[in-house]
């Protein structure tokens, strides 16, 4: 009996030493060239509407380009770039794809949430209307993308940041009663990024620059990052509850990191 009790104690001790706690580093951004509009941040001119939603793991720097005109707009990917902290990346990379898939979907706003694990990422429901896929066929990446009138196409290529930012004013593993955040001005920000988008309408070439900077960073434990809500669709409430991230916004994104018993860093 003593041997069994000792074994159980050792197993519990081992489990305690290997315990892992999940944390989130949430980034908030600001911009002078795009404005919050519903579930997106938007730039708009007479010809197009460019929409962003940064909210995702590591951040999504991609955009949806909507053609407002009655003519075809040609998006020049070979003259469009993603830039972060003065380092430029090409949207056109001269790649060859061996498989492709195109999906048409309809998106509707709901009061329920889709989930990735326990983390709800969106308050919108997507219904697939049609899917066209090919296998074993090589497709050469296009330099120019044609966007028909009154339609949009999504361009998604780059994450914003995948590493945890560390600072002496930012607690690495805050407890529930600790407030761990830091704000930045446009001059002091550790991260600025932008898209330079070139498009052609008729014979005129247009260039758009949508820039962002990180204005705040918050470290938060997983138990404080979400709240429970009743599962619902339209006006019908289903059984049980779902876990929803408290701070979802189109101008924010997050990085996930963990703490083990071996982690002793305060910052």
Residue 187: C-alpha distances to residues 101, 104, 182, 194, 243 (Å): 42, 42, 14, 15, 37
Max CA distance (Å), the chain: 87
Predicted confidence at residue 130, as pLDDT, reads 53
Alpha carbons 46 and 98: distance in angstroms, whole number = 37
| Confidence at residue 126, expressed as pLDDT on a 0 to 100 scale | 44
Closest of 151, 195, 256, 214 to residue 62, by C-alpha: 195
Structural tokens at position 24: 């989130």
| pLDDT value of position 159 | 96
| Whole-number pLDDT of residue 5 | 53
Count of CB atoms within 10 A of residue 243's CB? 16
Burial 20-39 (b: 16+ CB within 10 A, else e): eeebbbbbbbbbeebeeeeb
Q: How far from the centroid of its chain's Cα atoms is residue 130's Cα?
A: 25
pLDDT of 231 reads 86
The total of other beta-carbon atoms located within 10 Å of residue 241's CB is: 12
> Block means of pLDDT (10 residues each) for the chain, length 267 residues?
50 55 96 94 98 97 98 98 97 82 49 32 44 68 96 96 95 87 97 98 97 97 86 81 88 96 90
Q: What's the confidence (pLDDT) of residue 235?
A: 78
- Give residues with Cβ within 8 angstroms of 144, minimum separation 6: 74, 75, 76, 77, 78
């Amino acid at each position: 009996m003593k041997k069994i009790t000792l074994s159980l104690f050792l197993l519990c001790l081992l489990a305690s030493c290997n315990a892992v706690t999940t944390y989130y580093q949430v980034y908030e951004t600001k911009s002078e060239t795009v404005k919050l509009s519903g579930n997106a941040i938007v730039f708009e001119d007479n010809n197009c509407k460019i929409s962003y939603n940064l909210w995702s793991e590591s951040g999504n720097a991609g955009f949806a380009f909507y053609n407002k005109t009655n003519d075809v707009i040609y998006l020049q990917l070979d003259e469009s770039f993603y830039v972060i902290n003065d380092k430029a990346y090409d949207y056109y990379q001269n790649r060859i794809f061996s498989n492709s898939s195109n999906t048409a979907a309809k998106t509707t706003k709901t009061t329920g949430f889709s989930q990735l694990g326990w983390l709800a990422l969106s308050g919108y429901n997507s219904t697939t209307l049609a899917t066209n896929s090919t296998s074993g066929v090589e497709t050469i990446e296009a330099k120019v993308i044609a966007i028909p009138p009154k339609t949009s196409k999504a361009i998604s290529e780059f994450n914003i940041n995948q590493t945890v930012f560390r600072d002496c004013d930012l607690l690495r593993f805050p407890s529930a009663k600790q407030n761990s955040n830091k704000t930045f001005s446009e001059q002091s920000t550790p991260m600025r990024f932008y898209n330079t988008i070139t498009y052609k309408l008729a014979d005129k070439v247009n260039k758009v620059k949508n820039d962002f900077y990180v204005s705040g960073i918050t470290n938060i434990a997983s138990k404080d990052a979400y709240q429970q809500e009743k599962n619902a669709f339209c006006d019908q409430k289903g059984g049980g509850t779902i876990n929803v991230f408290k701070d979802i916004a189109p101008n924010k994104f997050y990085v996930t990191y963990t703490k083990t018993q071996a982690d002793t860093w305060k910052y």
